[in-house]
Amino acid sequence: MGEADWATADGSTDPGRACPIGPVVDLVFSRWTTPILWTLNEHGRQRYVELQRRVAAITPKVLTQRLRQLERDGLVRRTYHAEVPPRVEYEITELGRSLAPLFASLVEWSAANLDRVEQARQEYDDTPAR
Amino acid sequence: MGEADWATADGSTDPGRACPIGPVVDLVFSRWTTPILWTLNEHGRQRYVELQRRVAAITPKVLTQRLRQLERDGLVRRTYHAEVPPRVEYEITELGRSLAPLFASLVEWSAANLDRVEQARQEYDDTPAR
DNA sequence: CAGTATCCCTGGCGATACTG
DNA sequence: CAGTATCGCCAGGGATACTG
């Protein structure tokens, strides 16, 4: 909570993402990654098709893209079983699981404050002088 | 942490965002909102131009868009002073400030684990059999 | 100063079809 | 089953210029 923590090591401001949580936000909160991680964390090791069913509305292309990215980032582990038919299982890694408390905090915050947000929107929309 | 918390109240799965933190992610972690909230939280009440300078590389159009959205969501308060030249100040609200612990957790997680992510990427990229 | 207004452009996503 | 491959789109963002 320092006064100038948003400055980078070399003293210059980081253009674009002038805050220290930029990287982790890109990592965890980019599109589709949160539902995927959530599902993996909640339902344990799963096959590709199970994921596709649980993370509704995601197309196979995008699901694969995100899974590859998560695997590369070390948050998800992919296990290929050379059988017929082939079986691939995905599971969350220890590193991925370390995000669970964070997710829990997010859930807590939502439960406590999301209605306030909705209320604020209502008031904003109901104000004619804008 | 129930077994089927990703199901909505009516028993159906929520298409697209099959996890309970979907809404708060959209609210807080959509593009540009995190650096804006961070800056507002770190440097207190500021004028439009100060924000524009601190959140580097953001264009005025987008900055205004995001500020309006944050105002509507009740996370930011806008104060217009009818002077010449006009002066507008933005500050984080109590509701917005309630996100601070969350941000702090994110910073902590980054400090503890971001190097592991980088390491995982290195290993992934250095593996030829892919 | 604090924004609008306009135009443009891209990359991410969706849909669909196909394969080892 | 577990993905690729290809195509098309369009919302969101960037650049630039202008205004009360």
Q: Is residue A75 part of a domain?
A: yes
Q: Is residue B39 part of a domain?
A: yes
B31 touches strand D (CB under 7 A): yes
What value does the mean pLDDT of chain B take? 88
If you average pLDDT over residues B51-73, what whole number do you get? 96
Range of the domain at B63: 20-98
DSSP secondary structure string, A59-91? -HHHHHHHHHHHHHTTSEEEEEE--SS-EEEEE
Gap from B59 CA to C8 C1', Å: 15
A8 CB-near residues (< 8 Å, 6+ apart): A14
Q: Is residue A130 part of a domain?
A: no
Residue that wins the pLDDT comparison between B127 and A106? A106
User: What pLDDT score does A123 carry?
Assistant: 96
Q: Is residue A65 part of a domain?
A: yes
Domains contained in chain A, number: 1
Q: Is residue A57 part of a domain?
A: yes
Is residue B127 very low, low, confident or very high in pLDDT (cuts 50, 70, 90)? confident
CATH of the domain at A90: 1.10.10.10
Q: Is residue B6 part of a domain?
A: no
Q: Is residue B53 part of a domain?
A: yes
Q: Which nucleotide lies at the shortest CA–C1' distance from B32?
A: D13
Q: Is residue A44 part of a domain?
A: yes
How do strand A87-92 and strand A46-47 relate by DSSP bridges? antiparallel
Per DSSP, A13 falls in state B
Integer CA distances (angstroms), B124 to A45, A56, A69, B62, in order: 21, 28, 10, 36
What value does the mean pLDDT of chain A take? 88
In angstroms, the separation between the Cα of residue A3 and the nearest Cα of chain B is 7
